[in-house]
Structure 1
Amino acid sequence: MSTERQHNPAAQIVVGLAVIAAGLLFLLDNLGWLELDMSVQFWPIVLIVAGVLKIMGARSTNGNIIGGALLLFGVVLLLKGIGLLAVGWNVLAPLVMIGVGIFVVARSALHRRLDTRFAAPLKGGSDDAVFATAILGAYKRRITSQQFAGGEITAIMGGCELDLREASLAGDAVVNIFALMGGITIQVPVDWAVQLEGAPILGGIEESTLRPKDGAKRLVVRGYAIMGGVEIRN
């Protein structure tokens, strides 16, 4: 089992700021300056943190859209909860539906377009990279490319399964993961070394692969599991 684990300092800063914000809200509530139900306000804070982390780790336009939607929805719910925004669910529910529709249209229009703002272009055919999103659903895919170049996997209250056991790569490949109340499973060949750079937040990331002798092929897995789970195995 590989023990190489690195935590993103920026992610730790975001989580720390979220804890500070939650503490301030608790303090203001206890002092009587705000009337809050922190069991309810907890979820907007989770959505805001998830949105920021998703944007930070996004490698595609879809990833930025998802992160922005989570962030915006969390901010709106938080402002509504503390009384700074008088918006009812009769308005929020249609807005959420409109947002989902915009995401579907944008995802279809940009299906084959890779965003190179945060990473070098992924070259090769359609089977050489994976950009998967599962929201309230399931996504399963087997990749057999011999030039796998990485990609991005997002699971929000859904599940993603990626089977790479018949694939190969030259050198290193990076897969960014994001699991929010969802699960991601990645299966890799026994001759791949896995470098895990994930940060679990109220969730779990488990890597139980065999360690190859040469380590010439390396898969770097980066990202976050927020109240969700990620498993990497052979």
Structure 2
Amino acid sequence: MGRYNRLPDNSNSGLWGGVIVLVIGLVFLLRKMDLHLPDWVFSWPMLLILIGFVMGAKNKFQGAGWFILTFVGVVFLLNDMLPFEWHLQRFFWPIILIVIGLYMISRASSRSKRYEEIIADGSSTASREDFLQSTTIFSGTNKVILSKNFQGGNITTMFGGTELNFMQADINGEAVLDITIMFGGVELVVPSHWDVKLDVNTIFGGIEDKRTIVPASANKVLVLKGSCTFGGIDLKSY
């Protein structure tokens, strides 16, 4: 009997989601008890900080998504807490862009080094064309992947959209795609017989697999890892 495409393991996501709901419930309970706590304790910036912290803890504080959420919360929270008008919001976008830029540079450097090591390995037949690096910011990207020995790569989409078509590509074994989405969307057109495993943390986002369920190949595994914040991932096949 054929092995079918696996559904994502949502046990950890459910655990952390439960933690967030529990904390929010406790905060509202304390508020109803009239304990005279500061107003900022029950504010939406505190909620962003909580979600950012939980997201960071779940990912061992790697990536930029948790930091940006926490930073947004801290900026607006300080503006509410300070006894004078500082107008911290005016620094918000410049600092966000600086953080995103530094994150992209660091990520590109580390990935490039990793691919160099894989290519230099005599036991590997991989080439640069077998790795994907897609960065989309305030724009759109549409690519057709032709590699017959796809090895993986990374996708960064912020304030934009990315469409990748893998129908003419092939995998021999397992390939890992590291995905970072913030205020954007990614559409992946993937052969229905590929086994797609999901390990993506979603905060105010979602993942939808619209592919036809067919027996999945044991040696064609595409692993999606990373984070999706205020965005979405669509999986499709023809």
Residue 83 to residue 109, structure 1, CA distance change in 2 (3 Å): closer
Q: How does 1:100-179 map to 2 (within 5 A)?
A: 100-101=97-98, 103-104=100-101, 107-108=104-105, 111-114=108-111, 123=119, 124-179=126-181
The CA distance in 2 between the partners of 1:47 and 1:152, in whole Å, is 24
Q: Is the 8 A contact 1:155 1:183 kept in 2?
A: yes
Using the TM superposition, give the Cα deviation of residue 176 of structure 1 relative to its aligned residue in structure 2, in angstroms: 3.1
More displaced, 105-114 or 136-145?
105-114
Q: Could you give the per-residue CA deviations for residues 152-173 of structure 1, whole angstroms, max 9, x where no partner exists?
A: 3343443222222221121111
Matched, 1:76 2:74: yes
The CA distance in 2 between the partners of 1:25 and 1:52, in whole Å, is 21
> Which amino acid in 1 is paired with 2:147?
S
> Where in structure 1 are there 5+ consecutive unaligned residues?
59-63
Using the TM superposition, give the Cα deviation of residue 73 of structure 1 relative to its aligned residue in structure 2, in angstroms: 1.0
Give the 3-state SS of the residue equivalent to 1:206 in structure 2: strand
Give the 3-state SS of the residue equivalent to 1:16 in structure 2: helix
Which residue does the alignment assign to 1:7?
A: 10
> Which amino acid in 1 is paired with 2:45?
Q
Q: Is the 8 A contact 1:136 1:156 kept in 2?
A: yes
Q: Is the 8 A contact 1:134 1:156 kept in 2?
A: yes
Output the TM-score relative to the length of structure 1: 0.70
2:39 to 14, 35, 44: 35
Give the 3-state SS of the residue equivalent to 1:153 in structure 2: strand
Residue 29 to residue 44, structure 1, CA distance change in 2 (3 Å): same
> Which amino acid in 2 is paired with 1:15?
G
The number of aligned residues is 224
Using the TM superposition, give the Cα deviation of residue 76 of structure 1 relative to its aligned residue in structure 2, in angstroms: 1.3
Residue 50 to residue 29, structure 1, CA distance change in 2 (3 Å): same
> Which amino acid in 1 is paired with 2:56?
V
Please tell me the root mean square deviation across aligned C-alpha atoms, in Å: 3.9
Greater C-alpha Rg: 2
Residue 167 to residue 109, structure 1, CA distance change in 2 (3 Å): same
Q: Could you give the per-residue CA deviations for residues 72-118 of structure 1, whole angstroms, max 9, x where no partner exists?
A: 414413642662696733x443364145235436635763432889x
The CA distance in 1 between the partners of 2:105 and 2:201, in whole Å, is 30
The CA distance in 1 between the partners of 2:135 and 2:58, in whole Å, is 12
Using the TM superposition, give the Cα deviation of residue 183 of structure 1 relative to its aligned residue in structure 2, in angstroms: 1.4
The CA distance in 1 between the partners of 2:83 and 2:5, in whole Å, is 48
Q: Percent identity?
A: 25
The CA distance in 2 between the partners of 1:157 and 1:54, in whole Å, is 24
Which residue does the alignment assign to 1:229?
A: 232
Residue 122 to residue 40, structure 1, CA distance change in 2 (3 Å): farther
Residue 130 to residue 214, structure 1, CA distance change in 2 (3 Å): closer
> Which amino acid in 2 is paired with 1:218?
V
The CA distance in 2 between the partners of 1:233 and 1:49, in whole Å, is 32
The CA distance in 2 between the partners of 1:151 and 1:14, in whole Å, is 27
The CA distance in 2 between the partners of 1:208 and 1:41, in whole Å, is 35
The CA distance in 2 between the partners of 1:146 and 1:76, in whole Å, is 46
Give the 3-state SS of the residue equivalent to 2:129 in structure 1: coil
Q: Is the 8 A contact 1:149 1:173 kept in 2?
A: yes
Output the TM-score relative to the length of structure 2: 0.70
> Where in structure 2 are there 5+ consecutive unaligned residues?
120-125
